[in-house]
Amino acid sequence: MSSYGNNATRVWDDVADMPAIRDDIPTHAPHRAVDTLVFSASRGRAGVKTAIVCPPCIYGDGRGAVNKRSIQIPEMARASFERKRGFVVGEGRNRWANVHVRDLADVYVKLAEAAAAGGAGASWNADGYYFAQNGEHVGRLRACRYCR
């Protein structure tokens, strides 16, 4: 039975749920093979620090040299404009976490700075899993600090 459009029964916490994130996410989850590879990369290797950043829907104009826009939010907007109405999946009660692209970039910068400083101030390896979000949306996005 599909859960698309339904309200999630579990909201994961990247601190309190770390053992479950490491051990209980199903192997068929699209990102699980990469998660497992990263978790295993530091085992038995002194000094190797790994971290996984797991972003949700990303919005905002990027500043990079190649891809300057996210996929999810513009595609949802495009589909709504083409249909001349919004769309609902399942019961329409799902919540999606979101993050502005600059806030997501800040997460990577902070992790890189912490790694360069010896690792203090961040969690690494088996505990280095970060859900990067700054809000949620159901039917509309909240304004971020860059879009106000």
For residues 76 and 83, give the distance between their C-alpha atoms in angstroms, rounded to a whole number: 11
The percent of residues above 90 in pLDDT, for the chain, comes to 24
Structure tokens belonging to residue 78: 């495009």
- Which is nearest to 19 in space by CA: 142, 135, 126, 113? 126
Give the pLDDT of residue 46.
Answer: 67
Give the pLDDT of residue 79.
Answer: 82
In this structure, the dihedral spanned by the alpha carbons of residues 130, 33, 100 and 64, taken in order and rounded to 10 degrees, is 120
**Judging by DSSP bridges, how do beta strands 57-59 and 52-54 pair with one another?**
unpaired
Residues 130-143 as b or e (16 or more Cβ within 10 Å = b): bbbbbbebeeebee
Residue 60 pLDDT more than 90? no
CA atoms within 13 A on the CB side of 3: 6
Task: Please give the model's pTM, rounded to 2 decimal places.
Answer: 0.74
Q: Is 62 helix (H, G, I), strand (E, B) or coil?
A: coil
Distance of CA 24 to the CA centre of its chain: 18
pLDDT tens, residue by residue, 42-58? 776 666 789 999 988 88
Query: CA quadruple 112, 117, 118, 119: dihedral positive or negative?
Result: negative
Residue 117 pLDDT more than 90? yes
Give the pLDDT of residue 6.
Answer: 67
Residue 4 pLDDT more than 70? no
pLDDT tens, residue by residue, 85-102? 776 666 666 677 889 989
Residue 111 pLDDT more than 50? yes
For tokens 């996005």, what's the residue? Answer: 141
Distance of CA 8 to the CA centre of its chain: 16
Give the pLDDT of residue 114.
Answer: 95
pLDDT tens, residue by residue, 18-33? 888 888 888 888 888 8
